[in-house]
Amino acid sequence: MEVQAVTKYSRISPEKAREVSRLLQGKSVIEALAIVDLSPRKAARLFGKTLRSAVANAENNFDLNRDTLLVKVADALPGPMFRRYRAKARGMAGRIRKRTSSLKIVLTNE
C-alpha cells in the first residue's frame, strides 16, 4: 500500500529542497521524522509538515501503523516562478526569479 502527500507552491528552490529529500529516501518514518526535527534547514521544516501529513493520511485513511511505514519517495519538483525585475545600469532591467517547489512524499508499508 502506498500513501502520498504533496505540498504545492512552497517558497524554496527545488535545488535546496532536494538536499534534504536525499536524506529521507529509504528511511523509516520514525528515523525520517528525527532527521527533519534535528536539521536546521527551512526545507527540513517544510518536508516535516509534508511527512506528518502523509503519516496522518496512512493512519486515518488506510489504518496503517506508523512503525511499519517507510519513505519510498521524497522529491522536490519545480513549481511556478515569480518573476521580478530590478533596475540595472544604463536603464536596463535585471530579471529575478523567485523559485517555488512542490514537495512530494510517498510512504509504503512493504
The per-residue pLDDT of the chain, averaged, comes to 96
Cβ-contact 104, 2 below 8 angstroms: no
Q: What is the rounded distance in angstroms from the CA atom of residue 9 to the CA atom of residue 17?
A: 12
At 25 the three-state DSSP class reads coil
Query: For 42-77, how does the pLDDT look when each residue is reduced to its tens digit (9 = 90+)?
Result: 999 999 999 999 999 999 999 999 999 999 999 999
Instruction: Give pTM, 2 decimals.
Output: 0.91
pLDDT in tens, 76-86: 999 999 999 99
Residues with Cβ within 8 Å of residue 109, at least 6 apart in sequence: 1, 58, 64, 65, 68, 69, 70
Domains in the chain, please, with CATH?
A: 2-108 (3.90.470.10)
pLDDT band at 110 (very low <50, low <70, confident <90, very high): confident
